[in-house]
Structure 1
């Protein structure tokens, strides 16, 4: 983000400032294409243990009933119960896969392609 105070108000100064900004952007892009990394030093975010602890807390809280149910199902020994559980689990898995497939994009946009422009 560029603070509004940094943008010159005079039209000529603003043009020169914007031209310089695009030159810097282009040099960054050229450097990236040449070396595969941006010229600045890479920023490595610090590790945050609270994120992991938060995830572990909620995962254990929400998954405990499921695992308890799973252990009870397996220990019941009933073939019909186990087959029903496997069938429900399989149907749920297929339903999730179907929902993911619905959201996939089959064809991208042709915006900006020279071949997609209408001919006069």
Structure 2
């Protein structure tokens, strides 16, 4: 009896996002985290990461805003990335008030630094001109 022809590999991969190779911190380590916000949650306050972040929405909808880009809504099955470093991540809020938001984030971290660093109100005011929404 002949071997079955396994052909699924030819169509098994769907590219969700692409990025030019971002800068990785020296001696970086990689962390993959699951993040869960309840319905209507505003998410993490404005923050930054020491290195790039690659994410994938598992469930729900995220209101996503990265410095220099207008806010957008990401849906389950969509991917996102941010370069990290000096760039401020303004929003990762749950866009829905009736379902939870769950996403995976793979962070390329600088050793000895936290996964994220909150941004002060003073810095937000100083960098207001870099935010696509102005003084939102």
TM-score norm. by structure 2 comes to 0.19
> Higher relative contact order at CA 8 Å, sep ≥6: structure 1 or structure 2?
2
TM-score norm. by structure 1 comes to 0.21
Q: More strand by proportion, 1 or 2?
A: 2
Q: More helix by proportion, 1 or 2?
A: 1
